[in-house]
Amino acid sequence: MQVDELLKLMVDKGASDLHLMVSSPPVLRINGKLMLLEDLAAFSSKDMEFVFEQVSNQEQRTTFGKEREIDFPYSTPGLARFRVNALQQRSTISLVFHIVPSKAPSIDELGLPEICKQLILKPRGLILVTGAAGSGKSTTLAAMINHLNETERRNVITIEDPIEFLFRNNKCLIRQRDLGDDTKSFSSALIHALRHDPDVIVIGEMRDLPTISTAMRAAETGHLVIGTLHSNDAAQSIDRIINMFPNGQQQQMRLQLSQVIEAVLSQVLLTRIGGGRIAAFEIMLGTSIIRRQIREEKGHEILSNIEQGKPEGMQSLDQALAGLVRRNVITEEEALKKSSHLASLQQYLQSQC
């Protein structure tokens, strides 16, 4: 099959990802589970090279030849847009196509916490959306930007790797920069974004010290900065940012972070009863108590304050998981797979509150 035929099959079956590799038939991921298309032939090394040439341009192939890995977008007219990841394994090409919906979803469509609507309208500060790869962070960001675009007049600059959801200006001016095609690095793009009169800066991944340092300065100087991190919860997110800095700077960074942090949304993706997927969130807000705990290096106390902060809009992941179980959205077994504190989850499941 031609690659566009495989992508159409992917869309028709409602898959989120298509995996192609040597010595294997195509594999789809549907509702989080891998499904081998056994009726299709396994790919040879030449097949994979041919597919890669179909979906990439010469510059992308040159980059792959040097780096042995690359992310880039691919579109099929009338079908969908995809994020493609190519990497070399056992001296052969491996490809994953991830479908990107043509329209950014709304916060309500995704069932995201209502507080997301309030957070994206903040005039300044730092918001982190965290979670493992594939947990839906980019989709959450897109839904929040979509709400902002429908609500407020702001100048928004995004820095993405690669661009996923495409936005049209509604109330906002939105400029989207693709890492590789439009800019060479997150940190360089962020510095230049600050000279482009932004109100809101969206950073696809806060992956290095220069990017994190500049993002904190941007939040300090009156911009709303939203970024993603690969971390499991709020306390770990705070530690990860601080630990990026040399020891002699860490206390100063704690003070700065405590002043600019507005929220950490840590998410996991779960399988719904009856099919489909839903995200569950730990929500930490920049309350006075949380800010003090960051300053005083009391990260071990953050979780207990999140659990007690329900009136302010906070919740722990276990509280969120228990709520989904009680509403028959997910099974208890699914919740237990995602919890890092099983005893705590069991307690919330039994407490009915």
- For 37, the domain range is 3-100
Other C-beta atoms within 10 Å of 351: how many? 9
Beta-bridge partner residues of 69? 87
H/E element, 209? helix 209-220
Distance, CA of 289 to CA of 281 (rounded, Å): 20
In a domain, 305, yes or no: yes
Nearest 10 degrees: Cα torsion 301, 304, 306, 312 = -110
Please report, as a single letter, which amino acid is at residue 148.
Answer: L
Residue 229 confidence class, pLDDT cut points 50, 70, 90? very high
Provide the whole-model pTM: 0.88
CATH number at residue 177: 3.40.50.300
Tens digits of residue pLDDT in 271-285:
999 988 999 999 999
The answer to whether position 237 is within a domain reads: yes
- pLDDT tens for 13-55 read 999 999 999 999 999 999 888 999 999 999 999 999 999 999 9
Site of tokens 């979780």: 303
- Quick one: which H or E segment has residue 85? strand 80-89
Domain co-membership, 43 together with 90 = yes
Residue pLDDT, tens place only, 80-120: 999 999 999 999 999 999 998 878 899 999 999 999 999 99
Peptide bond into 26 cis (omega under 30): no
Confidence of residue 353 (pLDDT cuts 50, 70, 90): low
Which one has a higher pLDDT value, 155 or 76? 155
127 and 214: one domain? yes
Strand partners for 157 = 175, 201
Whether residue 352 has pLDDT greater than 70? no
Q: Confidence class of residue 351 from pLDDT cuts 50, 70 and 90?
A: confident
Residue 166 has pLDDT above 70, yes or no: yes
Instruction: For residue range 253-269, list pLDDT tens digits in order.
Output: 999 999 999 999 999 99
Q: Which of 176, 139, 164 is nearest to 80 (CA)?
A: 164
- Tell me the percentage of the chain whose pLDDT exceeds 70: 99
What's the pLDDT tens digit per position in 309-346?
Answer: 999 999 999 999 999 999 999 999 999 999 989 999 99
Q: CATH no. for residue 34?
A: 3.30.450.90
Both 50 and 21 in a single domain? yes
| The domain boundary residue, chosen from 46, 79, 100 | 100
Largest Cα span, the chain: 60
pLDDT of residue 253: 96
Classify residue 49: in a domain, yes or no. yes
